[in-house]
Structures are given as C-alpha cells and as structure tokens.
Amino acid sequence: MRVRDIVAGAAGVVLLFGVSEAGAGEISGTRLPHGQGTVESYAVLQADGTPAEIGVIFSKGALDGLPAQKNRTSRCFDLNGDGRIGEHDECEGDHQSDLPLPAEVTARDDIPFGWAMVNWNPEGHPPPVWSLPHFDIHFYSIAADEVQTIRVGPCGIFMHCDDFARATKPVPAKYVHPDHVSVQASVGQMGDHLIDSKTPELANPPAEFTHTWIFGAYDGSIIFHETMATHAFMSAKPQLCADIKLPQAWAQAGWYPTRYCFRHEEASGRLKVFMEGFVRREAG
C-alpha cells in the first residue's frame, strides 16, 4: 500500500502530497520509446488481484523532444478527391502509441480494460478550446483489432460515414453521466467522444484547458475511458486526482474507476497518469 496525505481541493479534485516513490507494487505492461524517454502501461493490484491503479508511466524525458507538428499518416482521407492522400488538412495527424496492459490485468474477466492508446496532439484538435498541445490517453474495453475496423472517411473527424452513424448512436442514458454528451467528435480508428459539458474550459467565461475526462462510445456502448491533459500541465509536475462523473449503471460487470490521477515522482522524474478508486459494479 502506498502512503500519502490527501488534501481536498475544489470541484472534486484532491491534491497528493508525500506520495511514495517509483515502483512499489507495480506490474509492468508494454514499454515503447517516446520523446527522449519511454511510455509504459502498468498496473498496481491488491493482494486479491483486484485493481488499485491502471495507467501509463511517462519516464523522465518522455515529454521532451516530441514532434512539433501533426504527421501526414494518421487517420488520413482524400477529402478533396485529388487522388493524393496525406496532405496536412487531410489527416488527423496524431502520434499514437499502443500499449497492452499487463497480462495480470488482461487475464482477468472482471477488469474491463485491455490496452491503452496514447495520442500526442502537437497542434491540438477540435473544438478550438482543445487546440493546445495535449495528450489523449484512452483505456479501451474493446480489442485493438476491433478499433481498427472503425474506418476513416469524410464524416466527423476523418470517419467513414456509415461508421460515423454507428459511433454517434446514443448510449442508453443510464450508462453515461448526463453531463457527458456527444458533440459528434467521432474519430476514425478511435470512436465517438462524449465530452463533459460542464468541464471548466467549456464554461462562460472559459477557464484555461489543463485536463479533463471523456468517455468513448461506439454502436451505443462505452468503449473507452479517457484522460486528456495538456503538455504544459503534465510538464508542471502535477500531483492530483479528480473525480470521474459516474453513470447510474454499467452494461458489463467488473471493476471500474472513480478517479483519474496524475502523479509526478521527484526522484525518478516519472509521471504516472492513471485510474484509481476501483469499485466492483454489477451489470444492470
């Protein structure tokens, strides 16, 4: 068990002090090069195998030396029909790392997460409030090969129009918090994004975007949980957790998080971005 003091903050946020340093109880998943370091999936499990943390670790240097521009290979479609694919305005252009979670997690039927998709957006993405350089960290409940069948095309954000219709099919109200709504921000090879309509950066007047929580959907089901955070925020050595707005019910039984967290470790220079506060839910 890690030792920490928790000081309550505003709007469902807690600040973390005195957190334990790197590695205690961690189970490593998949590690890939990232910037001038690495990014790695990990988990912390209780003695009975239930999850305490599921997330990704950005090593020292992982936030440095990243591409400064979108690429011309990710989620591209020939929008103007000129026969050339890959022009700057014909690609979502995010830089993606796919990280399977540790085998000890994926082997359990009661943990509904299998892998993390980490996306670096050097020029942000729509809507304009999210145009700052930032990361989208998706924790998927469906397999990577299923996500790849969500085709690119001209609808939504580079999504095939038939798949866009499936992506924006409403999730039954009891399975998503009422503040999380679809704005048809459906992305090819990813899914729809149900944004928190009450997140501070969407208020009037808007607060500066730092971090937020999103649910992902496809064909009327929740398919991912997502932490989104700016490069500036993640580089500022954050130590906090924020409450997740929970639905009334869950379509699939299992262990689901109640908070998302950022923990910088001074000694190692690592940054952990993870879900915690897992509670067992029954299907209903």
**The pLDDT value given to residue 281:** 98
* 58 touches 99 (CB < 8 A): no
- Cα separation of 213 and 1, whole Å? 26
pLDDT value at position 14? Answer: 47
pLDDT score, position 72: 87
Among 152, 186, 147, residue whose Cα is nearest residue 166: 186
Nearest to 173 by CA among 165, 160, 182, 164: 182
What pLDDT score was predicted for residue 86? 67
Distance between CA atoms of 47 and 263, rounded to whole angstroms? 22
Q: End-to-end CA distance of the chain: give it in Å, rounded.
A: 32
pTM of the complete model: 0.90
> What is the distance between the alpha carbons of residues 269 and 22, in angstroms, rounded to a whole number?
9
Q: Mean pLDDT, 10 residues at a time, over the chain (284 residues)? A: 29 42 75 98 95 98 96 90 80 95 96 98 88 97 97 94 97 98 93 96 93 98 98 98 98 98 97 98 97
CA dihedral (62, 66, 70, 74) positive or negative? negative
Name the residue range of residue 202's domain. 5-281
**Nearest alpha carbon to residue 212 among 225, 202, 203, 199:** 199
Domains identified in the chain, total number: 1
